Structure 1
Amino acid sequence: MEELLIQMAKGLVEDPSAVEVSVDAPDEEGTVVYHLHVAEGDMGRVIGKQGRIAKAMRTVMRAAASRVEQKVAVEID
């Protein structure tokens, strides 16, 4: 899951070396939170107009997680 998020983000940004993902332990509901960190100048590219790209990334991650019966959330920092 982490690798999927990294690959999606690297395809969007100008500085792929700055892409980092940290993972929190599952909470009481079993949801795993992924924190995506990108360079300051690439934030707009990852979020997109009105958050459309960020929403699409979250949708892809939820779909991939449902295939392995997990719950995920993506935070963009």
Structure 2
Amino acid sequence: MTNFDELIKTIVKPLVKHPDDVTISHSESSRFYEYHLHTNVKDVGRVIGKKGHIAQTIRTIVYSARVSGNKKVRLVIEDSKNKNS
């Protein structure tokens, strides 16, 4: 199975001003492997992009990677506005 953590970090780190703040957490449901992307508050807009185009492109790349089994991958870009960073 693809190492999605590394794939996501490889795509996102060059886009942000605070690459050391990029972290990924995981959750799993009966249908999905969820990867929650956390960035510095100041970098959320860079990852989402105008009208969400960058986020959609990142998701397209991640979703096209091979997954074993019937579950699908879901990428959630966490909005860190409520956190103190």
State the TM-score bracket (shorter-chain normalisation). Answer: 0.7 to 0.9
Aligned amino acid, residue 18 of structure 1: D
Match of residue 23, structure 1, among 22, 26, 31: 26
Aligned to 1:8: 11
- SS, match of residue 68 in structure 1: coil
Structure 1-normalised TM-score? 0.88
The Cα shift of 1:28 comes to: 1.3
Structure with the greater alpha carbon radius of gyration: 2
The Cα shift of 1:68 comes to: 3.3
- SS, match of residue 74 in structure 2: strand
Aligned residues: CA RMSD: 1.1
Q: Note the residue ranges of structure 2 that are not aligned, 5 or more in a row.
A: 79-85
Aligned pairs, number:
73
The Cα shift of 1:62 comes to: 0.5
| Structure with the higher fraction of residues in helix conformation | 1
Q: Note the residue ranges of structure 1 that are not aligned, 5 or more in a row.
A: none
Aligned to 2:83: none
